[in-house]
């Protein structure tokens, strides 16, 4: 009797998690279609709110949100806007939060609750634990692995912080996935034909736009742009400022430092925004007891006038992403909306007018990211091999070279994962170590880009400048995390670093990097050319002096070369402009070119004589 064949292995369970600024949720793919995982009350969304109760309990989600007025200084929300950033960067917005944000070790932000100090990653981990528990209850089995989404413009520190939060929550984060890319995967589940998709993702705290091309199951990100500090929270804040101004009696500074007032006003502002999405005007009567009462009416026209500059900032990003993709707006086949703030009528109207077609809204904008993450999770689990996802890196990565220039190794919008290797050398004779500085940005000079990290390659044997061969490799993995290694070929000595910068990119830094690269393109080119020319001139002087010491030349030729070398040295010592320096290099090149044959002939003759003597 033959034994029965073993049963086929059960599909590996990996969920997709959307860790959002306002709400978080999980989804899983069972069969062809993904579905969100709901709690006992049938709710898919978990408010990204954590309350540290005085009795020691830690409440998460709706339970925590219900206590935001009772315990305003102990209820934490919008923590995603603090992840991967410095206390200095969040200082301005921290003044508007009802809970205290203080500077901790290494200048990192810490949330002060009583005597305790909580990191943004620890707070995020509480949210992830709640989402994980809901998923396990819905699936009736443990959840150990997940794909977690982040804004496309999260840098290495913010991505690493998200992975740290997952580890604290007991989740193996298999992949960090860009939110717009996840949404495009959700868009692709309905079987529509191939095409080019614009994903407009306006969440609570961040904005992203991505241009993707879908062909035969391959999702290729062509370009991405965005703003790490722009979202529905900023819409709410404009309304909150108006409510605060309507409160009588207390001075603004006092009102804005009262945790109860801040929580109540923020909740009222969010309610106004939601009502104005379906009505032409909304009335508010906010009674704060002894702190005062605010009564006001806000029309949709007034609200839209206030948020119009913010909406325009998102449209500027859309136009930049389309241009970076090498396309024009008519080439966009579909527009996908993601994030609750895309329900604001002005957002949809302005986007439709810009692109020329109505946004695609078949997928709930609050659920799209989690659904897409579930699809990618199923792919990574090995259960689906029909999809291939190719994402991109948002800003160029490079290394500082001699003179302060930046040599870009990986260009903005390069498909990841990717690896690039380039060779460099030393600039000083006898150099035994090399300091390597990694930068991010679009400018030509290191001073104008953002420093990501530094490390040192030691143990290089002392050799003449230019002789060591140092191979520098930039590797960006599928999560968008950068690793850099340097190896000297002749000796095999090696060093490396996983670049996890201390802080994330602020809104101003992102906008400056992109706009400055365009505005200063000509001056950057001139400055870079001057640095390269000076490096070339210094190398020519060193090389020619060494050649003169070894070569046997007639006195007249030696004198001519020495004269050209001294002239070039004088230009290097002074403040010579690029034209003069180029002329000096050309003059030295001309003199050395005329004697090159003589040097070679002399060397050959000398070698033959030595051979004859043997």
CA dist 376 to 108, 181, 419, Å? 32, 10, 22
> Among 448, 451, 452, 453, which Cα is nearest to 512's?
448
**610 in active site:** no
CA dist 476 to 70, 156, 418, 444, 551, Å? 46, 10, 5, 21, 47
Q: Is the peptide bond before 417 cis (omega within 30 degrees of 0)?
A: yes
- Separation CA 177–CA 172 (nearest Å): 14
- Separation CA 337–CA 361 (nearest Å): 6
**201 in active site:** yes
Q: 93 by DSSP, 3-state: which?
A: helix
Q: Which two three-digit tokens encode residue 316?
A: 């500027």
Contacts of 105 (CB under 8 A, 6+ apart): none
The residue from 179, 234, 324, 488 that is catalytic is 179
Contacts of 511 (CB under 8 A, 6+ apart): 227
Write down the residue that tokens 């990100």 correspond to: 221
Q: Which two three-digit tokens encode residue 6?
A: 């073993």
The residue from 73, 201, 442, 479 that is catalytic is 201
Strand-strand pairing, 195-202 and 334-338: parallel
**80 in active site:** yes
Q: 33 by DSSP, 3-state: which?
A: strand
Distance, C-alpha 178 to centroid of its chain: 10
- Separation CA 344–CA 277 (nearest Å): 5
CB 97 within 8 A of CB 111: no
CA dist 146 to 51, 131, 372, 377, 378, Å? 25, 11, 12, 7, 10
Distance, C-alpha 302 to centroid of its chain: 34
The residue from 39, 65, 73, 80 that is catalytic is 80
Write down the residue that tokens 């203080």 correspond to: 102
SS3 assignment for 399-441? EECCCCEEEEEECCCCEECEEEEEEECCCCCCCCEEEEEEEEC
Helix, strand, coil shares of the chain, percent, nearest 5, are: 40, 25, 30
**18 in active site:** yes
> Among 148, 189, 188, which Cα is nearest to 32's?
189
Report the interhelical angle of 259-276 vs 232-246 (nearest 10°).
Answer: 120
- Separation CA 86–CA 585 (nearest Å): 47
Name the residues annotated as catalytic.
18, 80, 179, 201
């Amino acid at each position: 009797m033959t034994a029965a064949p073993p049963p086929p292995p059960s599909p590996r369970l990996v969920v997709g998690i959307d860790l959002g600024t306002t709400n978080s949720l999980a989804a899983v793919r069972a069969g062809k279609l993904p579905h969100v995982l709901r709690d006992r009350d049938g709710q898919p969304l978990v408010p990204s709110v954590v309350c540290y109760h005085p009795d020691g309990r830690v409440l998460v989600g709706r339970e925590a949100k219900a206590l935001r007025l009772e315990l305003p200084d102990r209820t934490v929300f919008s923590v995603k806007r603090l992840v991967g950033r410095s206390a200095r960067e969040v200082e301005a917005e921290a003044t508007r939060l009802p809970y205290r944000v203080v500077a901790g070790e290494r200048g990192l932000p810490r949330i002060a609750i009583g005597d305790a100090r909580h990191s943004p990653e620890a707070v995020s981990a509480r949210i992830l634990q709640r989402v994980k528990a809901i998923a396990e209850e819905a699936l009736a089995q443990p959840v150990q692995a997940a794909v977690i989404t982040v804004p496309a413009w999260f840098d290495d520190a913010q991505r690493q912080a998200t992975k740290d939060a997952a580890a604290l929550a007991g989740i193996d984060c298999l992949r960090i996935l860009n939110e717009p890319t996840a949404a495009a995967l959700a868009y692709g589940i309905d079987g529509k034909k191939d095409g080019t998709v614009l994903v407009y993702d306006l969440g609570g705290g961040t904005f992203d736009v991505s241009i993707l091309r879908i062909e035969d199951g391959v999702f290729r990100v062509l370009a991405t742009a965005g703003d790490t500090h722009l979202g529905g929270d900023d819409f709410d804040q404009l309304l909150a400022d108006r409510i605060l101004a309507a409160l009588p009696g207390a001075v603004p500074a006092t009102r804005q430092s009262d945790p109860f007032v801040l929580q109540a006003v923020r909740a009222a502002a969010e309610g106004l925004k939601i009502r104005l999405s379906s009505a032409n005007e909304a009335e508010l009567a906010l009674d704060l007891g002894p702190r005062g009462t605010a009564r006001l009416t806000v029309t949709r026209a007034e609200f839209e006038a206030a948020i119009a500059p913010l909406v325009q900032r998102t449209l500027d990003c859309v136009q930049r992403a389309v241009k970076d993709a090498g396309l024009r707006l008519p080439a966009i086949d579909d527009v996908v909306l993601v994030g609750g703030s895309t329900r604001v009528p002005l957002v949809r109207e302005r986007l439709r007018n810009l692109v020329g077609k109505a946004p695609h809204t078949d997928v709930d904008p609050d659920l799209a990211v989690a659904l897409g993450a579930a699809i990618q999770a199923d792919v990574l689990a090995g259960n689906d091999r029909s999809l291939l996802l190719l994402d991109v890196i948002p800003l160029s990565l490079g290394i500082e070279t001699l003179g302060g220039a930046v040599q870009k190794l990986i260009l903005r919008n390069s498909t990841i994962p990717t690896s690039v290797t380039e060779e460099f050398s030393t600039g000083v004779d006898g150099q035994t170590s090399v300091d390597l500085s990694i930068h991010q940005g679009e400018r030509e000079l290191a001073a104008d880009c953002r420093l990501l990290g530094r490390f040192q390659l030691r143990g290089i044997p002392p050799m003449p400048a230019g002789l060591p061969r140092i191979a520098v490799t930039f590797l960006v993995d599928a999560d968008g995390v950068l690793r850099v290694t340097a190896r000297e070929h002749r000796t095999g000595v090696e060093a490396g670093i996983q670049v996890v910068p201390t802080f994330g990119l602020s809104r101003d830094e992102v906008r400056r990097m992109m706009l400055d690269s365009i505005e200063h393109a000509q001056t950057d080119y001139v400055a870079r050319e001057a640095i390269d020319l000076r490096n070339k001139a210094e190398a020519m002087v060193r090389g020619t002096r060494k050649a003169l010491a070894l070569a046997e030349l007639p006195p007249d030729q030696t004198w001519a070369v020495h004269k050209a070398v001294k002239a070039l040295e004088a230009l290097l010592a002074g403040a010579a402009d690029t034209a003069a320096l180029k002329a000096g290099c050309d003059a030295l090149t001309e003199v050395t070119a005329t004697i090159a044959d003589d040097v070679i002939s002399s060397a050959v003759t000398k070698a033959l004589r030595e051979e004859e003597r043997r």
